Amino acid sequence: MTTPAETADEANRRLVDQYTEIARLAGGLAHEIKNPLSTIRLNMELLAEDFAETNTPQGRRALAKIEVVQRECQRLQDLLQNFLSYTKVRRLRREPANLNEQVHRVLGFFAPKAAEAGIEVVDYLASDLPSVLLDREAFHGALLNLVLNAEQAMPGGGQLVVRTYPHGDSVALDLIDTGGGMDPKTAAQVFDAFFSTKPGGSGLGLPTARKIIEAHDGQITVQSEQGRGTKFSIRLPVPPRLPAGDGGQA
């Protein structure tokens, strides 16, 4: 609780310090869990090898149970990795960047998966974008997460529209899919940690993407309608000292 003598900046710094300590402890706990989990996974692999050649009903049942444990171990491993990414205190190394180039990089990586999933990717990238400050690797991870989320929303294929454009003193990036969409209650929770509508989902992908965007002093919002699809919108501020016209299409 803020005391009368405590300024807003001091209170914010105190909250950041508290969050940093909680994140450090949570990360340490996750690392401690990973060690015995790795031991369990290794022993399950050895057991699976022992039962691989079995032809008895009892052996086949044992192998099936081992495979269940292996799948759950992998799920826990993925969850821990996502959790560590979410809790990590990010110190971004931002530098002037071409947003359209970052979009092209992600879409190029995604292209084979999109073709396999029957997803048509359409991009409308403005040629007159000003430069923005980005940590390229962190932003790449956030944008890729959003693109993969769109793919999962269109299991039967569809269309993903990606567009960039100037927006006041910022630049905007929209990702619009033709998936099944979400009801208002679900849309309001997509950025909540551990909330997921996908079987086996960690519920940390979108919250992590939001943390990265906000660490860039940006904003991310979602609009969705059941049966019509979903739009994620990102706004990134344009530093006043960066030259305009350096963010054109790659």
pLDDT tens string 99-117? 999 999 999 999 999 999 9
- Residue 172's alpha-carbon distances to 125, 154, 167, in angstroms, are 10, 23, 6
Q: What are the b/e assignments for 211-231, b being 16+ CB within 10 Å?
A: bbbebbebebebebeeeebbb
pLDDT of residue 250: 44
pLDDT of residue 18: 57
Residue 29 φ then ψ, to 5°: -65, -45
Integer-rounded Cα Rg, in Å, for the chain is 22
Mean local confidence (pLDDT), 191-220:
75
How sure is the predictor about 125, in pLDDT bands with cuts at 50, 70 and 90?
Answer: very high
Number of H helices, E strands in the chain: 6, 7
Element (H, E) at 175: strand 170-177
Place of tokens 């679900």: 186
Q: What percent of the chain has pLDDT over 90?
A: 30
Model pTM score: 0.65
pLDDT of residue 171: 94
Mean local confidence (pLDDT), 191-219:
75
How sure is the predictor about 207, in pLDDT bands with cuts at 50, 70 and 90?
Answer: confident
pLDDT of residue 101: 93
Q: What gap in Å lies between CA 228 and CA 181, rounded to an integer? A: 6
DSSP state of 155: T
